[in-house]
Amino acid sequence: MIALIQRVKFARVEVNGATVGAINSGLLLFLGVEKGDTDSGCDKLARRVIDYRVFEDDAGKMNLSLLQSGGEILVVSQFTLAADTRKGLRPSFSSAAIPAEGERLYQRFVTQLRQLGVTTATGQFGADMQVSLQNDGPVTFSLQL
């Protein structure tokens, strides 16, 4: 499971011109689910994301987590994160989870974030989404299990 997180001032996801998810200050998270990912790994990654210290404290150091900063999170499914790009000129998606399993773990991840007390918005799994954001920093990290 791969989470690409970006610290943002705002983020929004649209499908067919309609906003389906939006947040103010917090994290935009693109989630890629791979074959072999598990429920326990999903839960562990959700906890890691909300505890990951990427927000500045009063001294300007990245010492605060999403929970500590009071930020929100927008979770967008992105199977392309599971692409194998090591060779050739076309990505291979053979390591991506099948859509049904990807969606199940995506929904579990979102549920975990909400149960951990984070205001959570989402995109629409499997849809053609347009994502708008203002990256804060820019600050971007890739978290993997």
Q: Which residues are catalytic?
A: 78-80
141, 5 in Cβ contact below 8 A?
A: yes
Vertex 68: Cα angle to 63 and 70 (nearest 5): 125
Alpha carbon distance 108, 124 (integer Å): 14
The helix (run of H) or strand (run of E) holding residue 84 is none
